[in-house]
Amino acid sequence: MTKRPADPANGSAPAARQVPMRDFSRSLPMSLLRAREAVMRQFRPKLREYGLTEQQWRILRALAAIEAAEVTELARTAFLLGPSLSRILRDLEARNLIERKTAKADQRRSMVSISKEGVKLMASIAPSSEAIYAEITRRFGVRKLAELQEMLGQLELCLASVDASDEITDDA
Amino acid sequence: MTKRPADPANGSAPAARQVPMRDFSRSLPMSLLRAREAVMRQFRPKLREYGLTEQQWRILRALAAIEAAEVTELARTAFLLGPSLSRILRDLEARNLIERKTAKADQRRSMVSISKEGVKLMASIAPSSEAIYAEITRRFGVRKLAELQEMLGQLELCLASVDASDEITDDA
DNA sequence: CGCATTCACTTAACATGTTAAGTATCTTCG
DNA sequence: CGAAGATACTTAACATGTTAAGTGAATGCG
């Protein structure tokens, strides 16, 4: 009722299709998705308690680390697309958690920074967040966690190089 | 000009916060998110070419593997929440890629299955999909990919047990 | 039997992901 | 200078993620 192991007891038979395909539940994207969900499930309750979504938290964390940033730079750091970031910044600004001011040199750019209130909020949440992270690390193992991160980084890297080349050859 | 290293050359000061926190970009959730995005970036163009989103593709793949399933079971398999699945099924049904019929024994349940057209579409895409997957495997390494999947599974497992415990102890 | 509860699914409402188009500003170059 | 193009965002529109509420059909139990 709460959560069956959810394991594919369905991996049984019907491979008789044209192209077999890997067992869907063991595809890399699914593995990554589920792993991430398992991790985030640990954090979300605490964030929710403070009225923050995962993305808002990402933005505040990024801002707390770099003091001020242009929107584009922030998007890259928090791994959000421009439009999402635009909306979220609008809301965070309305809640007085961030501040913006257009750059003097270039009126198009706007510098975003975390507000005093934002810092205070961060300070309230950070201990819990770190505790959760520590617990995850403990459960999974420090060594293994480092290994995993290393592999994830390598995966990202070895695929990133592909994108560049394939943006030219879309005809075949 | 395009992308400043974005490294904390600004790390000058703000470490003087209350709780330091790990470098945000190296947090496990971010690593998982970026890795998954790197992988999906390889697939999305091909899916888009066939007018499918990532989630629609997940559903079709799941259905192709199990022939027919109840909505709830499908949600678990495709790792989607009920409401999302409901909407997507409505759309896939409108496109005649799936079929539904309510179960005789229990009028609440509806059995979902992939249609002939759906199978045909799958057959069109599967080869490309497999080719992309093969290329990813080749680049990253078969061995390493298996290791990564193994670790992701373990991570999921060691965190899942946490959830369970807190879902049972709601009486105390 | 009858009614409360549970169950399977859908709708609703709001936030985000994603692509395309729009707007204002800056840059380039004739 | 001034118009074309590039840049930095923002808006718009649609699909999905996510939580809560709704609906109709089974179940349990008096």
pLDDT tens string B24-76: 778 999 999 999 999 999 999 999 999 999 999 999 999 998 889 999 999 99
Which residue in the block uniquely carries the two structure tokens 């249609």? Answer: B115
Mean pLDDT of B12-22: 47
- Is the pLDDT at B90 greater than 90, yes or no? yes
> Using one digit for the tens of pLDDT, what is the confidence trace for A46-80?
999 999 999 999 999 999 988 899 999 999 999 99
* Cα–Cα distance for residue pair B67/B111, rounded to 1 Å: 10
φ/ψ (deg, to 5) at B109: -80, 145
pLDDT digits (tens, 9 = 90+) for A30-51: 999 999 999 999 999 999 999 9
pLDDT value for A163: 52
Yes or no: say if B84 and B45 are a contact pair by the CB < 8 Å rule.
no
The answer as to CATH 1.10.10.10 being correct for domain A30-160 is: yes
Chain A closest-CA separation from residue B36 CA (Å): 6
Between CA A97 and C1' C6 the distance (Å) reads 43
pLDDT score at A1: 33
The radius of gyration of chain B from alpha carbons, rounded to an integer in Å, stands at 21
Please, what CATH class does the domain formed by B29-160 belong to? mainly alpha
Residue B26 has a pLDDT of 84
User: In chain A, what are the domain boundaries?
Assistant: 30-160
**A113 pairs with which residues across the strands?**
A68, A99
Per-residue pLDDT averaged across B10-36, rounded? Answer: 68
pLDDT of residue B17: 43
- Residues of A with CB below 8 A from B148's CB? 28, 31, 148, 151-152, 155
Chain A: closest CA distance from residue B59 (Å): 10
What is the pLDDT at residue B154?
95
pLDDT at A24: 78
Quote the strand ranges of chain A, DSSP E: 68-70, 98-102, 110-114
Note the pLDDT of residue B13. 35
B149·A33 Cβ contact <8 A: no
Residue B15 reports pLDDT greater than 50: no
CB contacts, 8 Å: B136 with chain A = 28, 159
CB A44 within 8 A of CB B95: no
